[in-house]
Amino acid sequence: MSWIRPYLFISLLFVAQPLSFADYRVFRLRIEDPELGTSREEVSILDHIQYPQYYPLNKGEVIRLEASWMCYMNSSHGKKPCPDPNGPAVEPAPLRVPASN
């Protein structure tokens, strides 16, 4: 019966996994095109270094990190992130999540 213990432990890990939560950081990014004089704001779980790797910027655009904050005990993948505790009470847009292959 001792052979059951490892299988029971592994089974419990898979059952408990959906109940787990993870903290994550949210970034407010400013993307500007100095030639056209346009700018836009993106709220993402990707920082200013990672964002252009998933969502390529247009030629001449510059990305800048404006703010970041933590969302505690929230593992809502693909849903709205928690609001910026230090910023205006503006409802953030849904997260843009890169398509998985």
* pLDDT score at 5: 73
Greater confidence, 74 or 36?
Answer: 36
User: Is residue 98 in some structural domain?
Assistant: no
Calpha distance 45→48 (Å, rounded): 10
Greater confidence, 34 or 73?
Answer: 34
Beta strands in 2-91 (DSSP E): 24-33, 38-44, 62-71
| Beta-bridge partners for 65 | 29
**Per-residue pLDDT tens for 1-44?**
566 777 766 766 666 555 556 788 999 999 999 999 999 999 98
Q: What is the mean pLDDT of the chain?
A: 79
Token couple for 49: 């270094």
User: For residue 54, what are the domain limits?
Assistant: 21-79
User: Is residue 89 in some structural domain?
Assistant: no
For the chain, what is the domain count? 1
**Per-residue pLDDT tens for 78-93?**
678 888 888 765 555 5
